[in-house]
Amino acid sequence: MKTPPLDPHIADVAPAEPTLTRYDEEHIITYMRLLDADQQGIDWRRIDPDTEADRARKVFESHLSRAKWMTEQGYRHLLRSGS
């Protein structure tokens, strides 16, 4: 796996596959940032919640869920691939 970008484009919904995806590899830093922000109770509203409330919440929740999946299962795929 090559070095992931620091600020990749964020999709409206994170992957839900049971295996590690290319998107996951590109967003590992994003996932770590989300886990840190969640732990610290930082506000999730980075997309304007006044104009796109549903989208902002969906983006946040799906990516945080995927980040948590990475800590529980996805990391195994990284270990197997030698990343």
CA distance 46 to 2: 27
Domain annotation covers residue 67: yes
27 is in which domain, residue-wise?
Answer: 22-75
Domain annotation covers residue 12: no
Domain count, the chain: 1
Domain annotation covers residue 11: no
Q: Give, for 59, the enclosing helix (H) or strand (E).
A: helix 53-69
Domain annotation covers residue 10: no
Per-residue pLDDT of the chain in tens (83 residues, 90 and over written 9)? 678 888 899 999 999 999 999 999 999 999 998 899 889 887 777 778 789 889 888 988 999 999 999 899 887 877 777 65
